[in-house]
Amino acid sequence: MFIKYNNENAIFLMRKTFQIESFQQRSQALWAGMSIFGMEKLSNKDNAATLKDLELLKSMWTLKKEWEEAFDSWKDGLFSQLDTASMESSASIFSKRVFKIGRDTKG
């Protein structure tokens, strides 16, 4: 199931990104006080991973939206008037971006 990217989801992404970044800033501010007492620094690995996941999700939704816009511009034209070179170039660029997102997702 693919969740459709809309304004509500965009706001959710922005809100979660802001919350995580705020938490990271707060933990850095607290670290100065914690070091006085010899306490260990808190790990932000999970927060960094979540931020990366949110960015990947945003990239996927943006790519999907751009592909739909490009496809919409192509599908309504006359077959004889299609600029296949431009379409092939665009498809190649989209393909590279999809593979990059795939690598980032696995990595």
Report yes or no on whether pTM surpasses 0.85: no
| Contacts of 94-99 spanning 24+ positions with Cβ under 8 A | 94/63, 94/66, 94/67, 94/70, 97/59, 97/63, 98/63
pLDDT in tens, 2-45: 556 677 888 888 898 899 889 888 888 887 777 777 777 767 78
Residue 46 or residue 38, greater confidence: 46
Average pLDDT, the chain: 84
**Which of 2-6, 82-86, 94-98 is predicted least confidently?**
2-6
Q: What is the pLDDT of residue 1?
A: 46
